[in-house]
């Protein structure tokens, strides 16, 4: 079991990361991955020259694949699409994240 096992190196920890017995543990792991990817993409999105926006969009897409209802990732992706004047994509992103239910 993952809990209570001592890992001697990072490689041991990485090889044991998916040894969860419940889906609750995997949800927690995916939420952590979504947060980390969103943080990275937000840093790329803050670039004033907009050189890394394509990379930020692909990273946010990966974050939303891991956790489709993670709103910070959806907000940043929708903000990028709004700056690109792609309003149908903004609406689609917010619908998929269940932010806009009745629209």
The domain tally of the chain equals: 1
Q: Quick check: is 26 in a domain? A: yes
Distances (CA, A) of 74 to 17, 23, 69: 26, 23, 8
Q: Quick check: is 36 in a domain? A: yes
Q: Quick check: is 4 in a domain? A: no
CB count within 10 Å of CB 58 equals: 13
Q: What is the pLDDT of residue 9?
A: 41
Q: In terms of residue numbers, what domain contains 40?
A: 10-96
pLDDT in tens, 14-59: 444 444 445 555 556 666 888 889 999 999 999 888 899 999 999 9
Q: What is the pTM of this model?
A: 0.68
Q: Quick check: is 103 in a domain? A: no
Distances (CA, A) of 26 to 18, 51, 66: 8, 34, 10
Q: Within 13 Å and on the Cβ side, how many CA atoms surround 98?
A: 4
Q: Quick check: is 74 in a domain? A: yes
pLDDT in tens, 50-102: 899 999 999 999 999 888 888 999 999 999 999 999 999 998 988 888 766 65
Q: How far is it, in rounded angstroms, from Cα 33 to Cα 75?
A: 17
């Amino acid at each position: 079991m993952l809990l209570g096992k001592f890992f001697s190196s990072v490689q041991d920890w990485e090889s044991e990361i998916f040894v969860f017995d419940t889906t609750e543990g995997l949800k927690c792991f995916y939420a952590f991955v979504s947060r980390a990817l969103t943080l990275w993409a937000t840093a790329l999105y803050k670039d004033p020259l907009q050189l890394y926006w394509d990379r930020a969009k692909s990273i946010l897409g990966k974050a939303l694949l891991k956790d489709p209802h993670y709103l910070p990732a959806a907000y940043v992706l929708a903000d990028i699409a709004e700056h690109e004047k792609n309003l149908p994509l903004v609406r689609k992103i917010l619908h998929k994240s269940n932010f806009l239910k009745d629209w």
